[in-house]
Structure 1
Amino acid sequence: MSGVVYLAGVTAVAAVVIAVFLYAPAGVRAVQRLGVRRGLIAPDPPVLPPRVERLARDLQRIRADLAGLDPHTPVARRRGVLAAYDDTLADACRAMGLVDPLADVPEGMDREVARLEVEELLVAAGLIPARTPGR
């Protein structure tokens, strides 16, 4: 009889050890969520999905391309880079759930102003850094 009890005890301990290894990460996450809800632990900063991160990199790259265009750059190239920037701004607005002020705005000063508004929305959303003076 004592052999059966011993075997049952060893089996129970093994089951507890396996359960701890399997469910420990879920338990840690549950305790962290409870701590965040109670205000004991600071919440983790939100992680942007990969698509939004790619859009942010694209915006920064195209923005740098625009700023670095030579004054003698052909108009077609300048318009192409600007159109790519506008398209990427619109994609970023959609990805962040923001209204795109560039939609249906014709080329000209109104579009420049709308482009600045979109940039400010994305800066406020934390997607792109603010422009530094002179850039």
Structure 2
Amino acid sequence: MHVPLLQIGGTVAVIAALIAWTGPVFRWARRKAERRRTARYPTPGRRPLQVVAADVRRLARSISLVPTGAPMARRRALAAAYDDVLVEAATLLEIPHELRTTPDGPARDVERLRLLAALEGAGLAVQG
């Protein structure tokens, strides 16, 4: 009679130990997978401010040199790239802006000019 009770008690103890260890084992496996993922796909760093400033000047020049008969898709693509670079420069210099949330049109043009003036005021050479 004692042997079956000991077997049942041992089985219950093993099951309880397995249940208790599942949390730490899962946390260990998740940490290991996260380390592998970060080693495989490193987060990209920020570009240097000089490179961003050169892109601002280059894209401003490209926008001003778009021929009259150029497709609208080209103009919009250049404007979108220019806005992205302006936002990147503002982020690097910690200048508040609302360029991403401003709708297209005159309001966005005004916000773009305000951001350009703020970048220039912060010491970034935006005119080449």
| TM, length-normalised to structure 2 | 0.61
- Equivalent residue, structure 2, for 1:76: 73
Q: Tell me, in whole angstroms, the C-alpha distance in 2 between the residues paired with 1:108 and 1:55.
A: 25
Which range moved further: 107-116 or 122-131? 122-131
- Whichever residue aligns with residue 70 of structure 1, its letter is P
Q: Tell me, in whole angstroms, the C-alpha distance in 1 between the residues paired with 2:75 and 2:53.
A: 21
Matches within 5 A, 1:23-102: 51-102=48-99
Structure 1 residue 54: Cα displacement: 0.5
- Equivalent residue, structure 1, for 2:120: 123
Per the alignment, in what secondary structure is the counterpart of residue 72 of structure 1?
coil
Q: Deviations over 1:29-84 (max 9, x none)?
A: xxxxxxxxxxxxxxxxxxxx961010000000000000111111100000000000
**Sequence identity percentage:** 31
Go from structure 1 to structure 2 and tell me whether the alpha carbon gap of 1:130 and 1:58 turns closer, same or farther (over 3 Å shift): closer
Go from structure 1 to structure 2 and tell me whether the alpha carbon gap of 1:93 and 1:75 turns closer, same or farther (over 3 Å shift): same
Structure 1 residue 122: Cα displacement: 0.7
Higher relative contact order, chain-length normalized (CA < 8 Å, sep 6+): 2
| TM, length-normalised to structure 1 | 0.58
Structure 1 residue 113: Cα displacement: 0.4
How many correspondences in the alignment?
83
Q: Tell me, in whole angstroms, the C-alpha distance in 1 between the residues paired with 2:125 and 2:104.
A: 23
Structure 1 residue 92: Cα displacement: 0.3
Q: Tell me, in whole angstroms, the C-alpha distance in 2 between the residues paired with 1:80 and 1:50.
A: 21
Structure 1 residue 103: Cα displacement: 2.7
Q: Tell me, in whole angstroms, the C-alpha distance in 1 between the residues paired with 2:125 and 2:106.
A: 23
Contact 1:62–1:81 (CA<8 Å) still a contact in 2?
yes
Pairwise CA RMSD of aligned residues? 1.7
Listed as ranges, the gaps of 5+ residues in structure 1 are 1-48
- Whichever residue aligns with residue 58 of structure 2, its letter is R
Contact 2:56–2:126 (CA<8 Å) still a contact in 1?
no
Contact 1:101–1:117 (CA<8 Å) still a contact in 2?
no
